[in-house]
């Protein structure tokens, strides 16, 4: 991970370390077992301290989606889709969406590589073999 990315938010540093290994991580509470994302130093469900980081499958369902048509940064040519994906474990992630994704689509996470920054998850339509796994 780049020092700049880690320095930005030490609470989420394990997420970015996982991203560099191609592993999607979310937090899970020691006390009640709830999963959560974004990273926090406590459990949103029960208030227990120091949730652990666990690997998740990356499978989920598109909860909301929008097509961006106005450029925000130079390396993201429009149009592109972003949305909230509800992971099978429960948390929702804001991420880029691949072609054909719409609300209710079954999707899986893939990693989008970026120059000088950790990769970010981007969700694509789950193939039949992914859905059966
Ligand atoms: Zn909890």
Reported as a single tens digit per residue, the pLDDT across 33-53 is 999 999 999 999 999 999 999
Query: At residue 122, does pLDDT exceed 70?
Result: yes
d(CA 88, CA 58): 8
Rounded-to-integer distance, Cα 116 and Cα 124, Å: 23
Answer positive or negative: Cα dihedral of 69, 93, 15, 4: positive
| Bigger pLDDT: 98 vs 73 | 98
Residue 4: per-residue pLDDT: 44
User: What pLDDT shows up at residue 132?
Assistant: 47
Q: What is the pTM of this model?
A: 0.85
**CA 36 – ligand 1 centroid, Å:** 9
Distance of CA 45 from the midpoint of ligand 1 (Å): 5
CB contact at 8 A, 25 and 1: no
Q: Which two tokens stand for residue 14?
A: 């394990």
Contact, 90 vs 116, CB < 8 A? no
Q: How remote is the CA of residue 54 from the centroid of ligand 1, in Å?
A: 14
Per-residue pLDDT at 74: 85
Q: Count CB neighbours of 123 within 10 A.
A: 29
């Amino acid at each position: 991970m780049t020092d700049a990315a880690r320095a930005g938010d030490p609470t989420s540093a394990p997420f970015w370390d996982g991203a560099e290994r191609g592993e999607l991580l979310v937090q899970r509470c020691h006390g009640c077992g709830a999963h959560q994302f974004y990273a926090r130093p406590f459990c949103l469900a029960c208030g227990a301290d120091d949730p652990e980081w666990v690997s998740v499958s990356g499978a989920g369902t598109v909860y909301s989606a929008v097509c961006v048509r106005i450029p925000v940064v130079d390396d993201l040519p429009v149009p592109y889709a972003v949305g909230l994906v509800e992971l099978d474990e429960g948390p929702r992630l804001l991420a880029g969406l691949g072609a054909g994704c719409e609300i209710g689509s079954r999707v899986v996470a893939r990693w989008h590589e970026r120059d000088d920054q950790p990769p970010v998850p981007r969700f694509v339509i789950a193939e039949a073999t992914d859905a059966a796994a």
